[in-house]
Amino acid sequence: MNPVILLAPLGALVLIAGALILWRRSLWRASLGVAVAAGAMLAALNLAGLMPPLMLEPIAVRLFNIGLVCLMTAVVLRYVYPRLLTRPKRPAVAIIAAVLAIAHLSVAVALWRVADDFVQLPNVPRVTSEAEILALRDGQYITRLFGVLTEARVGAPDASAGDEVARIACGRPFSSAPQTVLPTILTLTLAGDGAAIDARGITTRREALDWPDGARVNACAISTGDPVVVWSDVGATRSGDTVSGTLIETRLLAYGTLDAFLSGAARKMAEAGMLFTILAGLAALLAIIPIAAGIARWRRIGILDSQEPRP
């Protein structure tokens, strides 16, 4: 396992401890420190090749949401709770604590759901023939809940090799980039039985993985005859009495063979997904903070109320 994966959970714990220490001195300093550390962790995972763009963007959004909820909790604990001093304010304390706890759990579950897709990726069904596609399509949906992996070659069986089919910009930042070409439908030849099927194309460059250099400068492309792996769901079309398998809801179109994908990119994404599953668990535990603070404030109000002179 990549050492970055092993060190990241420890780094997260150090990050939380450091944030708590800084929070006692300056809320905004703590927030900036957490943001910088989280960004550095994402950058390290990206540079280590563990997080392709397909994974980086949704994970970053969920981490940002967790940060916002943590900031909101810190503001409430520092500036709102100290103002709640009388017994009539007790319901407000309970409501605020419950809302914050639910918010922490919600953003943690959102991160877990994204991460779990990548954890399950190496274990999803694998298909190389049209019969397997139709069998999965007619079977229980739970068997393909996380999608399927299909090994194929670009183009129809009789297509001449080397004709560029799809193209994305992949040069240096701020360099001139060729026009992106992403067909809505791709014709693929399955690796197992040689059947030609239609597959829904990808819509953004972040859904392309390991595409080779294209004919144009600063471009990556796939051409007819290229081996590809498609992460998608399965479907079917009917023409008269003939039912044909299709690939729908395509998530990823990777260049290469299925074995290479499983031993390389899929394994790395699963390791990164496990990391963020652990972080999601830690984020869920943060729900304890507003609950504990609410209980403490509830009891504090009771103590202050009992100390007030009675008429």
Decide if pLDDT at 200 tops 90: yes
**127-176 tens-digit pLDDT:** 999 999 999 999 999 999 999 999 999 999 888 888 899 999 886 555 55
Long-range (24+ apart) CB contacts under 8 A made by 92-96 are: 93/294, 93/297, 93/298, 93/301, 94/294, 94/298, 96/290, 96/294
Cα dist. 263→33, 90, 226, 258 in Å?
A: 36, 56, 19, 9
Q: What is the Cβ-side half-sphere exposure of residue 233, based on CA atoms within 13 angstroms? A: 14
Read off the pLDDT band of 14 (50, 70, 90).
low
Of 85 and 90, the one with more pLDDT: 90
pLDDT at 23: 53
**230-250 tens-digit pLDDT:** 999 999 998 888 889 999 999
Decide if pLDDT at 34 tops 90: no
Give the integer Cα–Cα distance in Å for 267 and 258.
Answer: 12
pLDDT at 291: 92
Contact assessment for residue 207 and residue 54, using Cβ atoms and an 8 Å cutoff:
yes
pLDDT at 176: 57
**97-119 tens-digit pLDDT:** 999 999 999 999 999 999 999 99
- The residue behind tokens 């023409």 is 239
Please give the mean pLDDT across all residues of the chain: 83
Q: Which tokens go with 164?
A: 């560029």
pLDDT at 173: 55
**245-304 tens-digit pLDDT:** 999 999 999 999 999 999 999 998 998 898 889 889 988 988 998 899 888 888 877 776
Q: Mean pLDDT: which of 15-19, 31-35, 62-66 is highest?
A: 62-66
Cα dist. 49→44, 117, 124, 271 in Å?
A: 9, 18, 22, 11
pLDDT at 10: 52
Give the integer Cα–Cα distance in Å for 215 and 221.
Answer: 8
Q: Are strands 148-154 and 126-127 parallel, antiparallel or unpaired?
A: parallel
Read off the pLDDT band of 185 (50, 70, 90).
very high
Contact assessment for residue 270 and residue 51, using Cβ atoms and an 8 Å cutoff:
no
pLDDT at 175: 54
Q: Let me know how long the chain is.
A: 311
pLDDT at 30: 58
Read off the pLDDT band of 40 (50, 70, 90).
low
Report, as an integer, the average pLDDT of 2-13. Answer: 53
pLDDT at 127: 95
Contact assessment for residue 231 and residue 147, using Cβ atoms and an 8 Å cutoff:
yes
Give the integer Cα–Cα distance in Å for 116 and 76.
Answer: 31
SS3 for the chain is CCHHHHHHHHHHHHHHHHHHHHHCCCHHHHHHHHHHHHHHHHHHHHHCCCCCHHHHHHHHHHHHHHHHHHHHHHHHHHHHHHHCCCHHHHHHHHHHHHHHHHHHHHHHHHHHHHHHHHHHHHHCCEECCHHHHHHHHHCCHHHHCCCEEEEEEECCCCCCCCCEEEEEECCCCCCCCCCCECCCEEEEEECCCCCEEEEECCCCHHHEECCCECCCCCEEEEECCCEEEEEEEEEEEEECCEEEEEEEEEEEEEECCHHHHHHCHHHHHHHHHHHHHHHHHHHHHCCHHHHHHHHHHHHHHHHHHHHCCCC
pLDDT at 254: 96
